[in-house]
Chain A
Amino acid sequence: MTEQRIKVEVAYAKQREQALLEIEAERGITVAQAIERSGILGRFPEIDLAVNKVGIHGKAARLDQPLASGDRVEIYRPLIADPKAARKRRAGEARKESRAASA
């Protein structure tokens, strides 16, 4: 027999403030419904589900994806740093170091 109620978590984390809310819901609830139900949107008004990507346990997910028991729905924020620039900077530093080592 499968349980009718499942427990899921909704998480949103910023550098200074984080929320990890647990909710109980009926089987078949979707990512969007869980976020709505958790009330996290009221606590962090800056969340815009059209902009912020969501996922389950570190893997990107669609808003209409159904949840399984124990899933952690996560709301992400876009990057501030540019990965390409960071890589270029690191490559530059490595080159400088190797040059200094050979000189």
Chain B
Amino acid sequence: MLAPILVIGILAALFGLLLGYSAIRFRVEGDPIVDQIDGLLPQTQCGQCGFPGCRPYAEAVAKGEAEIDLCTPGGEATMLALADLLGREPGSGEGQAERVKRVAVIDEQACIGCTVCLKTCPVDAIVGTTRQLHAVIASECTGCELCVAPCPVDCIRMVPVASDLSGWKWPYPAATAQAAQPPVA
């Protein structure tokens, strides 16, 4: 009578210890899915998704509160990678499609070489130094607009990028159908 109780009791104590040990040994700090999502984002911290940086956006996506197609610098590649990771539908990409890609352009006639915009640029797309003209490398600019407000002489404008072979996308059917309608005379 005593033996079975002892055996079961010892077994229970052993498994309890094992579980307790693994809970400490294999403890996971934070939510691993957030880290994985964060790792796929471009880390430009531009805020174009409507969240104050890449990490908050990753957290919102992990909770299912945000669409996965909001990252403009990451573009379609990031959206597809997120869809792959989360097993969610890639979505229409309308989050980006509505926004035409724009880049910052610095007015050379007005720039005073103050380097304020240089420091705000998360991707180092601006070339310049103290009391020298600043200019934006268009291919590096993600269009985040973080440099526009800080400029003391308001010389930075956002300019839509003309579509070329590398950026051209097949237009959405609805848009073409509307455009194809004969103009009303």
| One of B3-11, B36-44, B106-114, B170-178 at the interface | B106-114
Chain B nearest CB from A49 CB (Å) reads 14
A66 at interface by CB-CB < 8 Å: no
Nearest CB in chain A to that of B113: its residue: A79
Please tell me if A28 contacts chain B, counting CB pairs below 8 Å: no
Q: Please, could you name 30 A-B residue pairs with CB atoms under 8 Å apart, sorted by A?
A: A13-B126, A13-B128, A14-B108, A15-B108, A18-B138, A20-B139, A53-B132, A58-B115, A58-B128, A59-B129, A60-B130, A74-B127, A76-B128, A76-B129, A77-B132, A77-B135, A78-B132, A78-B133, A79-B112, A80-B108, A80-B109, A80-B133, A81-B108, A81-B109, A81-B112, A81-B153, A83-B112, A83-B114, A86-B112, A87-B112
**Contact between A18 and B135 (Cβ–Cβ < 8 Å)?**
yes
In whole angstroms, how far apart are the Cα atoms of A53 and B133 in the complex? Answer: 10
Q: For the complex, what is the distance from the CA of A13 to the CA of B44, rounded to whole Å?
A: 21
Chain A residues in 8 Å Cβ range of B118: 58
Interchain CA distance A18-B136 in the complex, whole Å: 8
Place the interface of chain B in its size category: 20 to 34
B136 cross-chain contacts in A, Cβ below 8 A: 13, 18
Interfacial residues, chain A to chain B (CB-CB below 8 A): 11-15, 18, 20, 53, 55, 57-60, 72, 74, 76-81, 83, 86-87, 90
Task: Give the residue name and chain of the B residue nearest to A19 (CB).
Answer: B137
Give the number of residue pairs across the A-B interface with Cβ within 8 Å: 77
Set of chain B residues within 8 Å of A59, measured between Cβ atoms:
129
In this assembly, does B105 line the interface, its C-beta being within 8 Å of a C-beta of chain A? yes
Could you tell me if B137 and A83 are in contact, using CB atoms closer than 8 angstroms? no
Q: Does B124 sit within 8 A of A, measured CB to CB?
A: yes
* Distance A81 CA – B113 CA, assembled complex (angstroms): 9
Tell me if B135 and A83 are in contact (CB < 8 A). no
Residues of A near B140 (CB, < 8 A) are 20
Tell me whether A74 and B129 are in contact (CB under 8 A). yes
